[in-house]
Amino acid sequence: MDSQELTYPNAKLEKRTGLLWARRVAIAGVGHSLCFVLDISERKRMEEELVQARLGADAAAQAKGEFLANMSHEIRTPLYGILGLSSLLEEESLPDHLRPMMGLIRTSGEVLRRVLDDVLDSARSTPASSSWRRSRLTLGPACSGVSNCSGRLPRTESRV
């Protein structure tokens, strides 16, 4: 007989799991049965722990996916409202001193949308599916946007 799994009590009457091998052999012309039992209780326990860990990881991955989908919706909806309204306002006749501020609102919203897309995309990816890529960063436009922003915002007094 090939191996067969069986459950048996040990000397302390604890439940154990083993693999049983049985063979018929002839020794000096006399037939004998050889039986071996290999205790696999620890291996079975570890297999069960792995199954439980996998189920937990699958549940965590599903919860992560649902969270990301909800957060994506909750953040993008008002952001798209801001982007849409700022585009509409830019088309209206605004005083000249407000036009750069409207452009800054729209540009900042678009940058925020790209950052949000990148964060959510990286959170959705698995380590096996992620890859690094090189890209060129031009600091000039980013720095001028920051300086334009800080130069046009009203100053507030700080109280210490």
Residues 42-81 pLDDT 10s: 999 999 999 999 999 999 988 988 888 888 888 888 889 9
User: Are 35 and 55 within one domain?
Assistant: no
Q: Let me know if residue 139 belongs to a domain.
A: no
Q: Let me know if residue 144 belongs to a domain.
A: no
Q: Let me know if residue 44 belongs to a domain.
A: no
The better pLDDT of the pair 144, 34 is held by: 34
Asked whether the predicted pLDDT for residue 147 surpasses 70, the reply is: no
User: Are 56 and 118 within one domain?
Assistant: yes
User: Are 80 and 61 within one domain?
Assistant: yes
**CATH code of the domain covering residue 97:** 1.10.287.130
What is the Rg, in whole angstroms, of the alpha carbon atoms belonging to the chain?
34
Q: Who contacts 99 (Cβ-Cβ below 8 Å, separation ≥6)?
A: 90
Domain count, the chain: 2
Q: Let me know if residue 110 belongs to a domain.
A: yes
108: domain range?
49-124
User: Are 22 and 86 within one domain?
Assistant: no
User: Are 88 and 111 within one domain?
Assistant: yes
User: Are 34 and 61 within one domain?
Assistant: no
Token digits of residue 92:
């209206």
d(CA 64, CA 56): 12
Asked whether the predicted pLDDT for residue 18 surpasses 90, the reply is: yes
pTM: 0.50
User: Are 30 and 93 within one domain?
Assistant: no
Asked whether the predicted pLDDT for residue 12 surpasses 60, the reply is: yes
User: Are 14 and 66 within one domain?
Assistant: no
Torsion angle (degrees, nearest 10) of CA 12, 16, 22, 27: -30
Q: Let me know if residue 146 belongs to a domain.
A: no
Q: Let me know if residue 154 belongs to a domain.
A: no
Q: Let me know if residue 137 belongs to a domain.
A: no
**pLDDT at residue 132 in the model:** 65
70 with 78: CB under 8 angstroms? no
Q: Who contacts 72 (Cβ-Cβ below 8 Å, separation ≥6)?
A: 116, 120
